[in-house]
Amino acid sequence: MVDLSLDPEEIKRGGVSMFAASDGLYEDFKQVASEGGALKESVDTGVFTGVNEVAQAVERWEGAIVPGLRGRVEELGAFLAVYSVQHVELDGMTAELFAQYADPEVFPVDPGSRTTPAPE
């Protein structure tokens, strides 16, 4: 059986990082959207004719892509938050099922390569 034990505090920190990344996506793109929306009125389009396309792309990213990305990042954060609490029970089962079903050619696992040492 492959040992896939993870430190629950490390997992919890990963979840916290995902929620921080989600907030960062929103804050960072808010500035891009603000400046991108003003692009049409502030740029001489004589040489560069793609300003409207840039402004439309910014609107599409603000309205659909960034919220979708944030949702995925937050879902991962929520999963990590729950898993950090329940991982002890699930870890043994997951390791057993992984060893049983995972193709070692596709998922080579070297337990000695992890950065977090396995619990003793």
3-state secondary structure the chain: CCCCCCCHHHHHHHHHHHHHHHHHHHHHHHHHHHHHHCHHHHCCCCCCCCHHHHHHHHHHHHHHHHHHHHHHHHHHHHHHHHHHHHHHHHHHHHHHHHHHHCCCCCCCCCHHHCCCCCCC
In a domain, 83, yes or no: yes
pLDDT in tens, 1-29: 445 567 888 888 999 999 999 988 888 88
| pLDDT tens-place string over residues 48-68 | 677 778 888 888 888 888 888
Q: Is residue 3 part of a domain?
A: no
| pTM higher than 0.85 | no
> How many domains does the chain divide into?
1
Whether 34 maps to a domain, the answer reads yes
Is 115 among the domain residues? no
In this structure, is residue 112 part of a structural domain? no
Summarised one tens digit per residue, pLDDT across range 43-52 is 666 666 777 7
106 vs 78, more confident: 78
Q: Note whether residue 119 is domain-resident.
A: no
pLDDT of residue 115: 54
- The answer as to whether 24 is a domain residue is yes
Asked if the structure places residue 18 within a domain, the reply is: yes
Which residue range is the domain that position 34 belongs to?
8-43+51-104
